[in-house]
Amino acid sequence: MKVKLDENLPRNLTGVLTSAGHDTDSVAEEGLTGADDQTVFVSARDAGRLLVTLDRGFGDIRRYAPGTHAGIVVLRLPDESAPAVVRAMRLLMAQHDLEDLVGTIAIVEPARLRIRRASERRRDSSGHQR
């Protein structure tokens, strides 16, 4: 799986993903440190890479519609320290094949994974599709 790590993730996460067999690069390696979200998104999309980030803005399905990119994983962790981020990614990879997240927006929270797919329509609280 081709993966791009956002600049807000620990550098040692590259090794964790690479050792799990993933082709991994980062925003920093590409010289995009400090680039705006749209630039990072386009870079990941054009390279066909699953973007992994702590930036909650990438979870906006209106802006980054599922099915229009290789996938986005947003880590929503109360502890964003390097060890906590590495633990969360190791757990995600142990429980899910990253290939299953292609084209989705996946929100990783403690004890929960929410996946938004292109074919899903949101329902409001009354059960009506939007």
pLDDT-above-70 percentage for the chain:
92
Neighbours of 101 (CB within 10 A): 22
What number is the average pLDDT over the span 1-5?
A: 98
Q: What are the pLDDT digits (tens) for 27-52? A: 999 999 999 999 999 999 999 999 99
Q: What is the distance of C-alpha 75 from the center of its chain? A: 7
Handedness of CA 98, 95, 118, 9 (dihedral sign): negative
Q: Where are the domains of the chain?
A: 2-116
Mention every residue, 6+ apart, whose C-beta is less than 8 A from residue 81.
none
For 127, half-sphere exposure in the C-beta direction (CA atoms, 13 angstrom radius) is 0
CB 58 within 8 A of CB 51: yes
- 126 pLDDT band (50/70/90 cuts)? very low
* pLDDT at res. 121: 52
The pTM of this model reads: 0.90
